[in-house]
Structure formats: structure tokens, C-alpha cells
Amino acid sequence: MTRALVVEDVHVTYKVYGDRGIGAREVFARGFKGRDVRQIHAVRGVSFEAHEGESIGLVGSNGAGKSTLMRAIAGLLPVNSGRIRAKSMPSFLGVGAVLKRDLSGARNIYRGCLALGLRKSEIDERFDEIVEFTELRDAIDLPLRSYSSGMRARLAFGIATAISPEILLIDEALAVGDRRFKRKSAERIDEIRAASGVVIVVSHSLSEIARACDRVIWLEQGVVQADGPTEEVLEAYKASQDT
């Protein structure tokens, strides 16, 4: 099997600013120490390889570092050490992938696809196909702020898969869709895998992972707990969650 994605001993740390009071009273009581800046060590030494045609589920408790790891693989968050290599730039799809709330769905499709590096003529060609897939024909000229979360997820999914990515990273985006959309997105995922691509899905819905993935990585506090066939890993994960 050909390797399509290699993650080697990756660490990701990011900074957050705490909401500690910096009013006169606090400063007087404690002395001025500047802002409360904390380092979050979200991913601590993760390694795995993905091969062509694989679909991998990523599970773990809240705050396990799943989203951070996905963003790092997509090249959207820099790694502090370690290395991530891929056969082509991965495409990322998250719930927060809302583009411009004041612009219509159609304008957002163009904006997103142009930012991805597509030519206008290429988007013109695929526009109807994208709209068809997202089932937003009637709402495509309405501003995004009038969309439901499910409609937004469909739009984001349509944009992210418009370039037929070889590596697709899906972060919880399917959770807000209805049954029909889940089925369609599952079909799209199968298409990508059939074209020897790789799909990694983060989800809290274990049934969805069981249906879509043949391998699962279980992450806890930034460390891989288990990596193996879906059934085995999900079994162990469920057991740990129930205690």
C-alpha cells in the first residue's frame, strides 16, 4: 500500500489569553503581571501513517486535541516539533468554516473556491454541480446569516470537496446534517477513497464512525491511546467513557 500521509512525532502548542481582571483593584492587590497568557500543549507526540484508500475515524473526549491535530495536518496550525507530510495539500472541512455571513451562498462559493486556488472558469463549470450537491438551489442567493447550521455545513462541504481533494479532513461537520445529507456525504467520501484518497473524520457519533471508517485512532490529552480496526478501538473507547 502506498503511503499518502505521514505524521511523525507531532507536538502542537498554542497560546491563549486568560480573562484575568486587569482592573485597578486586581493590579493593586496582586501587582501588575501583564496579561494571563497560557500555553496549551494540545498534541503531544502523535505519529501515524495513512495509506491510499483509507478512511480513518478520530475519537476522544472533549479537549483531547482532535481538532488541533486536524488543523495541523491541514497546514492551518504550525507544529512545534515533528513533521507532517502528505502526497498533496489536505482539504479541511469544519463547522466553523463559515465564510462571510453578509454575502449570499453563491458569492461564498466563489470566494471559497477562488481562495482555494480555482480559476473562475473552473468554478463556473462546477457551480451547478456544487449547488446541486448542497441542495441549496432556492437559498443560494440569500445571505449566509439566514441559513440554518445544516445548510451552512452543506455549503462548506460543497466548497471543500469542489476540488476533489486527495486528502479530506472532516471535523464534526457532518453532525449537523440531516439523514439525507449524511448519506450523500458518505457517498462523496467513498468517491474520494475510491480515487485512492484518504479521509479522516472527527466525530462524537460513534455509529457514524463505525459506518464510514475502517480504522480508528483514539486520542486522549494529545496522546494516541489506540490505533487499529474500528471495532476493536471503539470497544475500548466506549469502555473508558462508561466508567
Partner 1 sequence: MLVSDPSRAEPCADDGLIDVNAQPPVTTYLREIWDRREYLARVPLDDLRAQNFNTVLGNVWHLLNPTLQIGVYYLVFGVLLGTNRGIDNFLTFLAAGVFTYQFTQKSATRGASAITGNEGLIRSIRFPRAILPLTTAITELFAYLPALLVLYVVALATGEPIRATWVLVPLLIVPVQLLFNLGLAFFTARAADLFRDVQNLLPFVFRIVFYLSGILYSVEARVETPRLRTLFTLNPIYAFASLVRSAVLGLPLNVAHIWSALGWTTALLLLGFLWFRAGEHTYGRG
Residues that bind partner 1 (CB under 8 A): 3, 5-6, 14-15, 17, 71-81, 83-90, 92-94, 96-100, 102-103, 107, 110-112, 114-117, 119-120, 156, 160
- Of residues 56 and 99, the one with the C-beta less far from partner 1: 99
Nearer to partner 1 by Cβ, of 103 and 210: the residue is 103
∠ CA 170-122-117, nearest 5°, is 55
Q: Coil, strand, or helix at residue 14?
A: strand
How buried is 49 (Cβ within 10 angstroms: 0-12 exposed, 13-18 middle, 19+ buried)? middle
For partner 1, which is the closer residue by CB, 57 or 90?
A: 90
Residue 50 Cβ vs partner 1, minimum distance, rounded to whole Å:
11
Torsion angle of the four alpha carbons 226, 209, 54, 113, in this order, in degrees rounded to the nearest 10: -120
Spatial separation of the C-alpha atoms in residues 5 and 230, rounded to whole Å: 19
- Give kind and range of the element (H or E) at residue 192: helix 179-194
Instruction: Provide, rounded to whole angstroms, the least separation between the CB of residue 165 and partner 1.
Output: 11
Is 89 or 186 the residue whose CB approaches partner 1 more closely? 89
Smaller CB distance to partner 1: residue 104 or 203? 104
Count CB-CB contacts under 10 A for residue 47.
13
**Closest approach of Cβ 226 to partner 1, in Å?**
25
Identify any residues that bridge with 11 across adjacent strands, giving them in sequence order: 44, 81
Measured CA distances, 137 to 106, 118, 162, 230, 233 (Å): 10, 22, 16, 37, 40
Tell me how long the chain is: 243
Q: Smallest gap, in angstroms, from Cβ of residue 77 to partner 1? A: 7
Q: How far is the CB of 236 from partner 1 (least distance, A)?
A: 29
- Closer Cβ to partner 1, 118 or 136, answer by number: 118
Q: Give the C-alpha separation, 63 to 233, whole Å.
A: 19
The least distance separating partner 1 from the CB of residue 121, rounded to whole angstroms, comes to 9
Contact 5, 86 (CB under 8 A): yes
